[in-house]
Each structure stands twice: as C-alpha cells, then as structure tokens.
Structure 1
Amino acid sequence: MERDLDVATRTRMIEWLKTEVVDQMSRLFKAIWDGSTARVVDGLAGLIASSYILGRRLGIPYREVDNAIADKLNRLKQEGHQLEEHYQDLSELSEHIRKR
C-alpha cells in the first residue's frame, strides 16, 4: 500500500511539473508581449528550472541534460543552423555551458 502511495505521489508530481512547464512558457510569452525584460528573464529562468526539475523527477540527472544540450548544440552547428551562421549563438551557448 505504501509503495502504491509513493508511485501515485510521484506521478502526481510529474503531472504538476508538466503543467508548471506550460505555465512558465505562458508567462514567458506574456512577458515578451509586454516587453518587460525583468519578466522575460524570470520567465526564462522558471522555464529552464522547471524543465531541469521535471527531467530529474523522470530519472535524468542534471549533468545528463547539460551534456544533451551540448551535444544538440554541436549537431546544430554542424548542420549549419541559421542562428549559428548569422549570430554564432550556438557557439556562444556551447562555450557558456562548457565553462560552467
């Protein structure tokens, strides 16, 4: 019975975190619409934090998410993504992650 309760609690937490990710995305979009830099930063921070925590609740360590982001950025750079070609955003983000 206790194990069933634990599974139910974990499942409920994962469902709540999924809604939190959507809520943070909504807040971010509203902040962009309003043009509030402070609210955009807060929305981005909330979205990123919620995503990391959701991953952890799903059994994915933070470091694995960091590594997956770095791998994704490298693949996109190799594919010639337009953000890299025009602004070097992918290289800058890769460097930021590498230095953390």
Structure 2
Amino acid sequence: MDKDVDLAKRVKVIEWLKTEIVDQVAHLLRAIWEGSQNKMIDALASLISSGYILGRRLGIPLRSLDEAIMEKMKKHRADGHQLEDWYGDISALEEHISKR
C-alpha cells in the first residue's frame, strides 16, 4: 500500500511541476510584454529552477543536466549558431556554467 501511495505522490509532483513550467512561461511572456526586468528575472529563475527540479524528480542528476547543456552549447557553437555569431551568447553561457 505504501508503494502505491509513494508512486501516486511522485506522479502528482511531476504533474504539478509540469504545470508550474507552463505557468512560468506565461509569466515570462507577460513580463516581456510589460517590459518589467524584475518580473522577467523572477519568471526565468522560476522556469529554470522548475526545469532542474523536474529533471531531478525524473531521476536525472543535476550535474547531468549541466553537462547536457554544455554539450548542446558546444554543438551550437560548432554548427555556427546565429546567436553565437551575432552576440556570443553560446560561449557566454558555456563560460558561465563552467565557472560554477
């Protein structure tokens, strides 16, 4: 019986986190529309932290997410991603993550 309760709780938490992510995207879009930097920062922080926590609840180590982000940035840079070419965003994110 305890296993069933634990499984139901885990599923409920995952579903809740998924709705949090959607809600934070809506908050972010509203903040962008309003031009409020403080609200944008808050929404982005909530969105990123919810993504990490959802990954953890799905059994993905936080370090693995960081490594996957780094690999994705390396690939984007190697492929000549426009954000890297125009603004250097990809290498800036790589540098930020590597300094953690």
Q: Calculate the TM-score normalised by the size of structure 2.
A: 0.99
* Secondary structure at 1:30 match in 2: helix
Unpaired runs of 5+ residues, structure 1, are none
3-state DSSP of counterpart to 1:64: helix
Size of the aligned set, in residue pairs, is 100
- Where does residue 47 of structure 1 map in the other structure? 47
List runs of 5+ in structure 2 lacking aligned partners: none
* RMSD of aligned residue pairs (Cα, Å): 0.4
3-state SS in 2 of match to 1:92: helix
1:90 shift after superposition: 0.2
Runs of 4+ in 1 over 4 A off after TM superposition: none
Displacement after TM superposition at 1:73 (Å) = 0.2
Alignment map for 1:82-97 (pairs within 5 Å): 82-97=82-97
Q: Secondary structure at the match of 1:59?
A: coil
Distance 1:42 1:69 in 2: 21
Match of 1:26 in 2: 26
Between the two proteins, what is the percent identity of the paired residues?
Answer: 56
